[in-house]
Amino acid sequence: MQSISILGSTGSIGVSTLDVIARHPDRYRVYALSAHSRVAELAAQCERFRPQVAVVGSAEAAGELSALLRAKGLSTEVAYGPEALCDIASAQGCDMVMAAIVGAAGLASTLAAARAGKKILLANKEALVISGQLLMDAVAAHGACLLPIDSEHNAIFQCLPPGYTRSMQAHGVEKILLTASGGPFLTRAVATLNDVTVEEAVAHPKWVMGRKISVDSATMMNKGLEVIEAHWLFGAPADKIEVVIHPQSVIHSMVSYSDGSVLAQLGNPDMRTPIASALAYPDRISSGVTPLDLAQIAQLSFSQPDFDRFPCLKLAYDALHAGGTLAAVLNAANEVAVQAFLDRKIGFRMIDQLIQRVMSAIPNRQAADVGTLLEQDTAARAHAEALISQ
């Protein structure tokens, strides 16, 4: 029996994780759950999964949650705030941590899980984008195990040999082929992109996901973040990570080897597959996902991404090439810009323009420690906010 803390249990990944766990009560027990503000949803999850601890974002939310749990006769301990998230990520009572908080808000708890030597199921790609070297170092230094949940990286992980040492050369790996759906605006006239609505931008053609990552898919910043994520997870230089547009989202990514072999992982687009594969690794367990019917899908297509249509993808490659704290700056500017778009304060094309301006304005630094990264994150957010309110 393994116990798990699910950080961000009320989100899209959190709910899919609980769905898989509920299918295997003989293997998994929930130690802790967390939400930010969706208290009623968290209370319902507590009633069903009976965690020892539940964490929310504020004292007010904690009061509400405590009242709801008392009314249900539950003894779940309630805590709140970033420190409480770090506590449930590093607690002795948990073996595994699902890091599924969205954005930089998930950084500290992911690092805490690494420093406590946990098995980390990493959905929160932003943590790796911000603190790549430091997080990988913490994982190695504390004997943690980092398993990718992001569908592409989970696919790549499945296509790499067991015991892969983050050296492409040592394992005969030529290239990583990162597939991208192209999002909802793959074929929309570029001149009309600034007019897209929030509703159009969050309507991903293949995946049901949270609002932030859905907008990231629409700008292709999601793929940019994933290029950086692949760099850190697999020790791949930027020029060995190729993005391939594949609108069907059936092949979740591929690994190209020096002998000409290309290995791919396929499946219906449902996050319960990568979640189940990481939860049970190296075993395989049922996930509830419908098996793939290739004859019904009939055709798979591929093309190159267009940087003029998707400037965010180019900005992410630029940040990876530059190194230092630029990826943290890119991420922070993107988080502010996406939220402003979701709040209908800026148009869709302002997202890439804003990120580009913030990246040019904040001097790059060495990513020496978490403090430096957080300073850069704060400076980038302040600059982006100032540009928005101009």
Ligand X SMILES: CC(=O)[C@@H](O)[C@H](O)COP(=O)(O)O
Ligand Y SMILES: NC(=O)C1=CN([C@@H]2O[C@H](COP(=O)(O)OP(=O)(O)OC[C@H]3O[C@@H](n4cnc5c(N)ncnc54)[C@H](OP(=O)(O)O)[C@@H]3O)[C@@H](O)[C@H]2O)C=CC1
Distance CA 172, CA 390 (A): 51
Number of shown-chain residues binding ligand Y (CB under 6 A): 27
Tokens (6 digits) for 231:
């760099």
Q: Which of 52, 49, 57, 51 has the alpha carbon at shortest distance from 18? A: 49
Tokens (6 digits) for 327:
């990826």
> How many CB atoms within 10 Å of residue 215?
26
Residue placing its CB nearer to ligand X in the complex, 152 or 352: 152
CB-based contact 247:186 (threshold 8 Å): yes
Rounded to the nearest whole angstrom, what is the least distance from the CB of residue 162 to ligand X in the complex? 23
Distance CA 328, CA 378 (A): 10
- Binding positions for ligand Y, 179-208, rule CB under 6 A: 207
Residue placing its CB nearer to ligand Y in the complex, 37 or 360: 37
Residue placing its CB nearer to ligand Y in the complex, 36 or 223: 36
> Which one of ligand Y, Mn ion, ligand X, none interacts with residue 32, CB within 5 to 8 A by kind?
none
The β-bridge relationship of strands 241-245 and 251-257 is: unpaired
Phi and psi, residue 106, nearest 5°:
-95, 0
Rounded to the nearest whole angstrom, what is the least distance from the CB of residue 47 to Mn ion in the complex? 31
- Which residue stretches of 258-325 are H helix? 272-280, 294-297, 311-322
> Which one of ligand Y, ligand X, Mn ion, none interacts with residue 35, CB within 5 to 8 A by kind?
ligand Y
209 sits near ligand Y (criterion: CB under 6 A): yes
226 sits near ligand Y (criterion: CB under 6 A): no
Is 13 one of the annotated binding-site residues?
A: yes
- What are the Cα distances from residue 181, in Å, to 1, 171, 267, 287? 37, 28, 14, 23
Tokens (6 digits) for 303:
């093309």
150 sits near Mn ion (criterion: CB under 5 A): yes
> Which one of Mn ion, ligand X, ligand Y, none interacts with residue 183, CB within 5 to 8 A by kind?
ligand X
Those residues with Cβ within 8 angstroms of residue 55's Cβ, 6 or more apart along the chain or in another chain: 32, 33, 34, 35, 78, 79, 80, 81, 84, 85, 87, 88
390 burial type by CB count under 10 A (0-12 exposed, 13-18 middle, 19+ buried): exposed
124 sits near ligand Y (criterion: CB under 6 A): yes
Is 152 one of the annotated binding-site residues?
A: yes
8 sits near ligand Y (criterion: CB under 6 A): yes
Residue placing its CB nearer to Mn ion in the complex, 152 or 335: 152
181 sits near ligand X (criterion: CB under 6 A): yes
Residue placing its CB nearer to ligand Y in the complex, 5 or 9: 9
Q: Supply the DSSP string of 9-37, one letter for each residue.
A: TTSHHHHHHHHHHHT-TTTEEEEEEE-SS
Distance CA 377, CA 385 (A): 12
Rounded to the nearest whole angstrom, what is the least distance from the CB of residue 150 to ligand Y in the complex? 4
Is 226 one of the annotated binding-site residues?
A: yes
> Which one of ligand X, ligand Y, Mn ion, none interacts with residue 123, CB within 5 to 8 A by kind?
ligand Y
Residue placing its CB nearer to Mn ion in the complex, 107 or 227: 227
Options 3-11, 41-49, 51-59, 217-225: segment touching ligand X (CB under 6 A): 217-225
Distance CA 228, CA 34 (A): 27
CB-based contact 97:330 (threshold 8 Å): no
218 sits near ligand Y (criterion: CB under 6 A): no
DSSP reduced 3-state for 268: coil
Q: Which of 16, 11, 10 has the alpha carbon at shortest distance from 44? A: 10
216 sits near Mn ion (criterion: CB under 5 A): no
Rounded to the nearest whole angstrom, what is the least distance from the CB of residue 131 to ligand Y in the complex? 14
- Binding positions for ligand X, 110-169, rule CB under 6 A: 150-152
Here's the x/- map for ligand X, 313-342, by CB under 6 A: it reads as ------------------------------
Residue placing its CB nearer to ligand Y in the complex, 39 or 359: 39
> Which one of Mn ion, ligand X, ligand Y, none interacts with residue 10, CB within 5 to 8 A by kind?
ligand Y
**What is the binding site for Mn ion (CB under 5 A)?**
150-152
**What is the binding site for ligand X (CB under 6 A)?**
150-152, 180-181, 183, 207, 217, 222-223, 271
Residues marked as binding for NADPH? 10-13, 124, 126, 210
Residues marked as binding? 10-13, 124-126, 150-152, 181, 204, 210, 217, 222-223, 226
